[in-house]
Chains A and B, each alone.
Chain A
Amino acid sequence: AQTVTQSQPEMSVQEAETVTLSCTYDTSENNYYLFWYKQPPSRQMILVIRQEAYKQQNATENRFSVNFQKAAKSFSLKISDSQLGDTAMYFCAFMKHFGNEKLTFGTGTRLTIIP
């Protein structure tokens, strides 16, 4: 079974600063996907970024980037030039590679952007 751990329950950062959210996971699989989802107070889960484990290059999406360390089973999210709209719960999630598998989520990090 897979587990996902987010060790930072809450974080806050000044607007325009950079913040990094941590995530570690445990799996015996070699091929898998990792995701970061954002859940604002409106509660809709929004996909932020996705990483395929077989790709060494770290994924980036505009101000969002990841640091994927496969050997360490670490998958952190960096948000650059943070904006007030980035205030939300952030969940790290794991999915096995084949068969359209389920998502396994961490417990989340509540991020607050301070104006």
Chain B
Amino acid sequence: DAGVTQSPTHLIKTRGQQVTLRCSPKSGHDTVSWYQQALGQGPQFIFQYYEEEERQRGNFPDRFSGHQFPNYSSELNVNALLLGDSALYLCASSLVGTGTRETQYFGPGTRLLVL
């Protein structure tokens, strides 16, 4: 049973550039959530995708955008990168519904460094 996978594992960009991070959910899951984890802090919710649409969004600017594909995989795009965007980006997948299916399972993350 394949777990959540993310690519790339590490990425170095310069200010003003754009970046795309990718996530494949756990087998059988249909919902993908993205989180930003700054060094020494807990993860912060960016947004969630279900049925190829953004269902809810955290307090992040429009520079952060996403997409979900028919196979449930997802991309996170960040435009006009700032130094403060340096963080670990975590993807989590789950299954819509109530009960244990809503538990979110995380991928290994992508470490983004903006210089």
Chain A interfacial positions (CB closer than 8 Å to B): 4, 33, 35, 37, 42-47, 50, 91, 93, 95, 97-98, 100-108
Q: A91-B42, A102-B33, A102-B48 are in contact. Are A97 and B108 (CB under 8 A)?
A: no
B102 / chain A contacts, CB cutoff of 8 Å: 33, 95, 100-101
Q: Is the CB of B50 within 8 A of A100?
A: yes
Instruction: Report chain A residues within 8 Å CB of B58.
Output: 102
Write the B83-115 contact mask toward A (1 if CB under 8 angstroms, else 0): 000001010101111101011111111010000
Q: How far is the CB of B19 from chain A (nearest CB, A)?
A: 18
Chain B: interface residue total (CB-CB under 8 A): 31
Nearest CB of A to B49, in Å: 11
Minimum CB–CB distance for B34 against chain A, Å: 10
A46 touching B42, Cβ below 8 Å = no
Chain A min CB distance to B2 (Å): 14
Which residue of A is nearest B102, CB measured?
Answer: A100
0 or 1 for each of B49-75: is its CB under 8 Å from A? (1 = yes): 010000110100000000000000000
B108 A103 Cβ-Cβ under 8 A: no
B24 within 8 A of A: no
